Amino acid sequence: MVDGVLQFVPPKEVREVMDVFEASAYLGVSTDTLYQYAKIGFVPAFKLGNRWRFKRSLVDRWMEAQSDKSMGRVGNGNIQD
């Protein structure tokens, strides 16, 4: 706010490829945890040089699959008996 006038602050650009800091904030886990998940292949990730990168669309699909598993759903959305 400047002189009592609100200023528009544009949102940060949403990028498809996230670094470990952006991905950890997106997932709500620590960077240390995310590094471990990436190393063991638990979360979809790839290395660009010596740095881990996370493709947002793949992470979103992975989260959906994890959510479906924890909710006891199968591929068509039905609840498992």
CA gap 35, 18 in Å, rounded: 13
The reported pLDDT for the residue numbered 62 is 95
Q: What is the pLDDT of residues 55-68, one digit of tens each?
A: 999 999 999 998 88
List 55's β-bridge partners, or say none. Answer: 17
Tokens encoding 58? 């793949």
Count of Cβ atoms closer than 10 Å to residue 20 Cβ: 17
The reported pLDDT for the residue numbered 79 is 46
Q: 55, 56, 31, 59: which is closest to 43 by C-alpha?
A: 59
Kindly report the pTM of this predicted structure: 0.70
User: How high is the mean pLDDT of the chain?
Assistant: 85
The reported pLDDT for the residue numbered 68 is 84
73, pLDDT greater than 70 = no
CA gap 25, 7 in Å, rounded: 26
Percent of the chain topping pLDDT 90: 62
The reported pLDDT for the residue numbered 33 is 97
